Structure 1
Amino acid sequence: MRTLSTCRRTLLPGLLAPALLVPCLLTSPARAQTTENRPAPASPDTTAPAKVPFDGMDLTWVNGQNRQRNFPLQLRDADGETVLTGVALLDGYFNYNFARPLDHTQTISAVTGRSGEFSLALASIGIESNYKNIIGRLWLQTGSMLHLVQETDGSVQRGRNTGTGNLKFIREAAAGYHFRPNYGLNLELGIFMSYIGLESYVMQENWSYQRSLVCDFTPFYFQGARAQWFPTRNFRTELWLMNGWQTYNAFNRQPGVGSSNYYRPSENLQLVANFYYGKDSRPTAGSAAQGPAAYPGRARFHHDHSVVYRYYHKPKNQLRGITQAAFSLNNHYGFENGGGGLPRREAYMLGSSLANRLWFAKNRLALTTRVGFVKNPSRYLSFSPSAVGFTDPSSRLTAREATVTFDVMPSDFVTFRLEYLHRRANVPYFAGPGGTTSPSGYADQPLPAGWQPDLRQTENRALVSVNFRL
């Protein structure tokens, strides 16, 4: 069973002219904010034009994508070629839980960790470059989300010379090189945002502020290496090797492996299929005769696929009323097996999230409705509702949710958001008025005998958020 942790998520090519070689800062629907680097332009002694994947497609409407069309923080060389692109973002929120937990702790979320308080979820700055086919990317971060995601990495307990203390402030850091077969081949090594799930680690890129359950329960980052290959204009496939499932280090001796595949036959349709396999649990110690690890760790498999379709789009010269309409569907299935744990028929995760979005007023207003569910009987992926005193981890979990989100977007660089969220579980799972920390709500109070966190089967919340991105 996991504690609070992890929807990215890698990307779309930029929308600027290929000859500018602008690093693509538009993120992918796979959970996060990794970058899909563009091919280098043709050299001066070559007449063949550069092949640019997804060229000419405006994909800023896609769930999980950055909607920016312009990137003002650019440094160019004497020939006008982009050398570096800088990015800055801030995201803050006020989360009101109608249960009013006395410890102000918001549970079952990897983005909102507090209730009844103003919070800075994420502040991040970064630079990216594809200059002369050399790939470089460094994003730094801070904010309350780091405590919910990066600091829950249990792999740093293996051995020494590990820890989240320095790495948690790096949202993404990678180096690599771009080769030119077909529409491009990128080889990179570093810390990446996860490709699993539809919704991004960066809330500005998602249609809703609180991520869906299926995306919140899956990874947000990997440390390892990847190869991105663009065999055609409309298709990208990736192979991944990483230390583990949202881990900086490895629990076992073999790396995790993964595959991500994006097909965009047109500007209005995106199809994605992702796969992961690895051993991501701590080995179970055996007797002296059996050796230090009687069970080498449980094998984990996970798959998600998504469909994002824009079924209505007005021409640019007709922007009154509803201007765009689209839906996204993200389905997940995974399981664990072996290693002395529960069998696959108990240790599985099944879930889905369906969202519909309408844009108005020249795309400056938007209304999103979303429903979803997750079933995780053994809770090997779901969040724990309390760090202490929770004594019923074996209850089979099924949860459902419904969300309504209204966005005001006066420009591509700022979003004001109002959201209402309702969730229901088949077992007590969400924080109640008594909170989940202690009788007083403070973490330094010794727990009296028999104390249990106050958990309820339903949760209702209202969120207000503001984000800035340049």
Structure 2
Amino acid sequence: MKKVLLAVCLFITYIPALYAQDSAKAPKIPWDNIETNWQNGSDRRDSSIVHNKYVNPMVMIDLNYTHSFNHPNDNTVVGSTALARDNEMQLSQLSLGGEMFYENARAKVLLQLGTRSEVVPRNDLSPYRGQYKLADVYRYLSETYVGYHFNKWYGINVDAGLFMSYIGLNSYYQVENWEYQASYTSDNTPWFFNGIRIQIFPTKYLKIEPWIINGWQSYAMFNKRPGVGANITWNPTSSFKLLTNDYYGTDAGGLPHRQRFHSDNSLLVRYYNMPNETGISRMAFSLTGDLGFETGDGVNGFSNSATKGPAQYFLSSMIYNRTWFAKNKFAWTIGGGVMTNPGRYLVLLPTGEASPLPDPNNPTQTEGKYPFDTSPGTTFKAWDCSTNFDWMPNQSVLFRIEYVHRHANVPYFAGPGGVTSPDGYTTTPLPPDWRPDLVKSEDRIIVAFLFRL
């Protein structure tokens, strides 16, 4: 940690020299002439019609209707950061804001309203440390940062604030993804970071992005040490992209000696591109693999130990193939993924389950009246598959219908009895023998209406 902080201090002292050397030079543009609008997790637009020299306004609307064949009586979706309610039209996200530029100064403010402002902060337990309800303070912000651009090489950006993580390949914004319900690799890894990032573009096709952040998708710090990590992205052609995200932190509340490591790696290949064809006009695939573990304070990474504790690790992968038709106006995607997570430290907490009391050594493990058991030695193995069809009449509108099947080795998804009460209402007193109805699998159909300007 001292070495990381020293490196940052040295970089900051180097900033005046960067400015003096390059402030008068014309900026170079990374990824210039590289097509990225086909990539999973990227903006599919060719350009913004409202962008100008000083402001790039942004409006995104994400509406969906999802039907679960489990028919939970309370209409609650479990184990998803994209969905919240079954059998109802819901506004998942309304994003308003934009990017701002003046000379080399830069900033971004993007508000978020809708069910995601409730669903995503719910999975951050760091605000239990301290008196202030940070989940309420930040929940209506998806990205807010201020920074400065240095005209060195192909650019260096230094930003501080709340920004996207993109660990797991998928974008936080559904309009940028090939599928609506993300596979476990993306849905169980961070959507946002709170801290400092430095984006370094030494060449036209390479980005190196160090982070010093409060923690793993956390508004606050779980202990006294910040998390550190980095993204490296190499995009040498319009048909190939390779990236890695790597992270280290101490993210178990009240367990300062428990260390977390995580590595996320993705490959994207466009293997067919005939954009003017009325038949198949484009084909591409994305492949992602994640590996991580926790060690210390009672857990032991990839192996069980009689003295150090049980294994606690994360392995997952996902693969998707997408085919575009009719000059890229329609698209069909198929894919899925697998996940295993002993200790369940990255599993999205369902709203409740009959289980033992939370670990008394972890003061943040208090979600729900019937908390999901995430004690060391517990198992969680799951897989999913999905397929969808998109209609994209223009670059700002997307209509999607998607079928999803998900399965876990333990009861996890909302069953017919729901996870709220016998009749599904939060106002109903709970009988002593009532427990949330969790089942091992679910099938659902999602209809999504997505807009971006």
TM-score interval, normalised by the smaller of the two chains: 0.7 to 0.9
Shift of 1:410: 0.2
What pairs with 1:268-417 in structure 2 (closer than 5 Å)? 268-283=239-254, 295-314=255-274, 316=275, 318-341=276-299, 344-345=302-303, 346-391=311-356, 393=373, 395-417=378-400
1:232 to 2:203 alignment:
yes
What is the match of residue 51 of structure 2? 74
1:175-194 deviations in Å (ceiling 9; x for gaps) = 11111221111111111111
Partner of 1:217: 188
Q: Please tell me whether the aligned partners of residues 123 and 349 of structure 2 are also in contact (alpha carbons under 8 angstroms).
A: no
In 1, the alpha carbon distance for the partners of 2:63 and 2:140 equals 18
TM-score norm. by structure 1 comes to 0.83
**1:441 positional shift:** 1.4
Q: 2:26 touches 2:151 (CA, 8 Å); kept in 1?
A: no
Q: Which amino acid aligns with 1:300?
A: R
Q: What are the equivalent positions in structure 2 for 1:165-180 lying under 5 Å apart?
A: 165-180=136-151
The one-character-per-residue Cα deviations of 1:311-332 (angstroms, maximum 9, x if unpaired) are: 0001x4x422000000000111
User: How far does residue 162 in structure 1 lie from its aligned partner after superposition?
Assistant: 4.5
Residue aligned with 2:135, SS: coil
Amino acid at match of 1:455: L
Identity of aligned residues (%): 40
AA of the residue aligned to 2:131: R
2:75 partner letter: H
Task: Provide the residue aligned with 2:15 in structure 1.
Answer: none
Asked if residue 256 in structure 1 is aligned to residue 234 in structure 2, the reply is no
Q: Within 1, Cα distance between the matches of 2:242 and 2:47?
A: 26
Q: Of 426, 439, 453, which aligns to 2:422?
A: 439
1:465 aligns with 2:448: yes
8 Å CA contact 2:293–2:301 kept in 1: the answer is no
**Separation in 1 of the partners of 2:353 and 2:441?**
21
Alpha-carbon shift at residue 383 of structure 1 (Å): 1.8
How far did residue 340 of structure 1 move? Answer: 3.4
Within 5 Å, which residues of 2 pair with 1:149-228?
Answer: 149-228=120-199
Give the AA of the match of 2:264: D
Unaligned runs of 5+ in 1: 1-39, 76-81, 284-294
Shift of 1:143: 0.6
For residues 296-342 of structure 1, the C-alpha deviation after alignment (integer angstroms, 9 at most, x for no partner) is: 2421111100000000001x4x4220000000001111111112346
> Could you tell me how far apart the structure 2 residues matched to 1:463 and 1:228 are?
36
Q: Among residues 36, 42, 46, which one is paired with 1:65 in the alignment?
A: 42
Separation in 2, partners of 1:379, 1:249: 21
Aligned length: 409
CA distance in 1, matches of 2:213, 2:257: 16
Letter in 2 for 1:366: A
Q: Deviations over 1:135-190 (max 9, x none)?
A: 11111111101111023322112123452222111111111111122111111111
For normalisation by structure 2, the TM-score amounts to 0.86
The match for 2:306 is none
1:20 aligns to what?
none
Q: Which residue of 1 aligns with 2:364?
A: none
